[in-house]
Structure 1
Amino acid sequence: MARIIGGFAEIADRYDAAFVDLWGCLHNGLRAFPEAVAAMVAYRARGGKVILVTNAPRPRASVEAQIERLGIPREAWDAIATSGDAARVALFQGAVGSRVWFMGENRDRAFLEPPRIVQHPVPLLEVPLDEAEGIVCCGPADPFAHPDVNRTAFEYAIERGMRLLCANPDIVVDRGESREWCAGALARLYEEMGGESLYFGKPHAPIYDLGRRRLSQIGLLPPDDKILCVGDGILTDIAGAVGEGLDSLLITGGLAAAETRTAPGSQPDEAALAAYLEVERLTPTYAIGFLR
């Protein structure tokens, strides 16, 4: 059973760095959570380093601009590692070919710009599906449309042997009170239909490698037992931490609020949390209703 804590300060001194999820932990897609922001500012003031590790399918500069608009100040974090950055490296190394069919919203098209760390990027051309070698999936064009609307296109792509590069393994995300589909839901459907999907965000190793690289860039490379992963996704944040051998803190008031009976501003129901973790077969080191 995970230990339920009352505040981040209870465990902060045990860790030199925290890999902190954004959506559901520091903001809800519309605005920042003041208590969560304050907790990270206080942690950094004590010497801790905060790496924002997010499954956003965009470059870190885009994420930085977004969170500033939402009210997350620069004082709350040290560096950003995005699923988009990790996936873009593979994309421009030719993971799905050079002629690609793009899935996503217009704001996600920055993903198709080559990252500076790839010295000789594969020339990339966005083309219609019937001319493509592979699929770049940043998410659905309509985040409220069920993934099944893509079945016909996916059948065609699978028949032609295309691989799908998933820029964001999240299945759903809550924007305020509305739940939206993410790229991970499309990639899962593609696999269920017999296709091959490539993943780079949580819970997969490449984004954790990128997080450690970000720590190294700011002059810190702590042992694994000094890194804590914080997030609200049991199958992304917590599963990823377990896979990497890192401690974790589950924010129960995010995606699992209903299952853990976490009311706004409160702690999870202990029995409900235990039942939820038993069903998911994953146990975080700690749990808290909301990051504070």
Structure 2
Amino acid sequence: MKANASAISGLGAIADRFDHVLLDQWGTLHEGMAVFPAALDCVARLREAGKRILILSNSGKRASSNQRRLAALGLAPEAYDGVLSSGEVTWRGLHSRGQAPFAGLGTACFLISRDGDHSIVDGTDLAVVSNMRDADFILLGGLDDDAAEPEHWRERLTLAASRRLPMLCANPDLVMFGVAGLIPAPGALAAFYQSLGGTVFFVGKPYPPMFAAALAQLGHPAAQRILVVGDSLDHDIAGGRAAGMLTLLIGSGAHRATLAHARDLPQAIRTAAGTAARMPHWTMDHLTW
């Protein structure tokens, strides 16, 4: 892996390289409080430059829920072209039941979600059960902060693994921003379930269905004219690279502890990436024009 990620001061420096932007949400646009002022300005400048903007999020909540949240945090729906969440892609799959892994999961699910959100099952034929013993599968859409630690679930998930209950994880993120900083995200709980012998099916970044859905929503433009912007090498960069898209890493997000005080930033990014498949084309500290 020889190539370095080129450090840039803002997206304006590479605006001629792309026509469409897939923007990550948490860690890129905001950290749960308000959309960063520089990010707000950047989104406006992207629209002025004629770029199409799709917010691509590993949130286990539906697209409409994410759009309402973004509006409450300061980013109006008319400022961009749409939201595609892993929860939305999961809902579509559960609603149609047309292909794997959705087709063979059964109809009784034990739902784990954030803030008691049930929108991921609304309008489907699923019955939500309160005991894993009665479930055909586990649907992991989100985690409340106080239930984020995988050990909190050990007893129940050990039982589920012994019953060979599959888990459908609608948010593969490994870490998320909690009140006290970075805490385990649903992807970490799914990995914990795998370590107990459980089978997990993932929907979201970096998995191909998420990027295929984004391409479809954009009208199938050339992948090499799409820029994926996000703070995770594991999800945004790896997924964008695999889809043949351009990638830019926001250094102040999920990898901040590794990159913030690096004496040699290019080397630190290479080390964190590990392979060319996770190496961003560009990097910058915060989302800015």
TM-score (norm 2): 0.90
The residue aligned with 2:16 is: 13
Q: Unaligned 5+ residue runs, structure 1?
A: 115-120, 263-268
| Deviation string, structure 1 residues 36-60 (Cα, Å, up to 9, x no partner) | 1111111111110001000011111
Q: Is contact 2:228–2:236 with CA below 8 Å preserved after alignment?
A: yes
- 2:201 equivalent to 1:198: yes
The residue aligned with 1:180 is: 183
- 2:122 equivalent to 1:113: yes
Q: Any residues of structure 2 matched to 1:42-191 within 5 Å, and which?
A: 42-92=45-95, 93=97, 94-114=103-123, 121=124, 123-127=125-129, 128-143=131-146, 145-175=148-178, 178-191=181-194
Residues of 2 paired with 1:72 and 1:206: CA distance? 26
The residue type paired with residue 112 of structure 2 is M
| Deviation string, structure 1 residues 258-278 (Cα, Å, up to 9, x no partner) | 21116xxxxxx5614422422
- 2:183 equivalent to 1:210: no
Deviation at 1:195, TM superposition (A): 1.1
Residues of 2 paired with 1:148 and 1:284: CA distance? 33
Deviation at 1:76, TM superposition (A): 3.1
The residue aligned with 2:255 is: 256
RMSD: 1.7
Q: Is contact 2:148–2:186 with CA below 8 Å preserved after alignment?
A: no
The residue type paired with residue 96 of structure 1 is L
- SS state of the match for residue 230, structure 1? strand
The residue aligned with 1:286 is: 282
Residues of 1 paired with 2:155 and 2:236: CA distance? 32
| Deviation string, structure 1 residues 129-180 (Cα, Å, up to 9, x no partner) | 1111100011334446411221111111111111100010001112465223
* Structure-2 change in CA distance of 1:95 and 1:32 (3 Å): farther
The residue aligned with 2:44 is: 41
Residues of 2 paired with 1:12 and 1:278: CA distance? 28
Q: Identity of aligned pairs, percent?
A: 29
Q: Is contact 1:169–1:202 with CA below 8 Å preserved after alignment?
A: yes
* Structure-2 change in CA distance of 1:143 and 1:90 (3 Å): farther
Q: Unaligned 5+ residue runs, structure 2?
A: 98-102
Q: Is contact 1:139–1:186 with CA below 8 Å preserved after alignment?
A: no
* Structure-2 change in CA distance of 1:270 and 1:16 (3 Å): farther
* Structure-2 change in CA distance of 1:95 and 1:252 (3 Å): farther
- 2:256 equivalent to 1:247: no
Q: Is contact 1:26–1:291 with CA below 8 Å preserved after alignment?
A: yes
Deviation at 1:245, TM superposition (A): 1.6
The residue type paired with residue 279 of structure 2 is T
Judge which range, 177-186 or 17-26, deviates more. 177-186
Q: Is contact 1:145–1:181 with CA below 8 Å preserved after alignment?
A: yes
Judge which range, 61-70 or 80-89, deviates more. 80-89
The residue type paired with residue 249 of structure 1 is L
Residues of 2 paired with 1:40 and 1:231: CA distance? 14
**Aligned residue-pair number:** 275
The residue aligned with 2:228 is: 229
| Deviation string, structure 1 residues 208-231 (Cα, Å, up to 9, x no partner) | 111112112xxxx32111001000
Q: Is contact 2:148–2:185 with CA below 8 Å preserved after alignment?
A: no
Residues of 1 paired with 2:179 and 2:145: CA distance? 17
The residue type paired with residue 239 of structure 1 is A
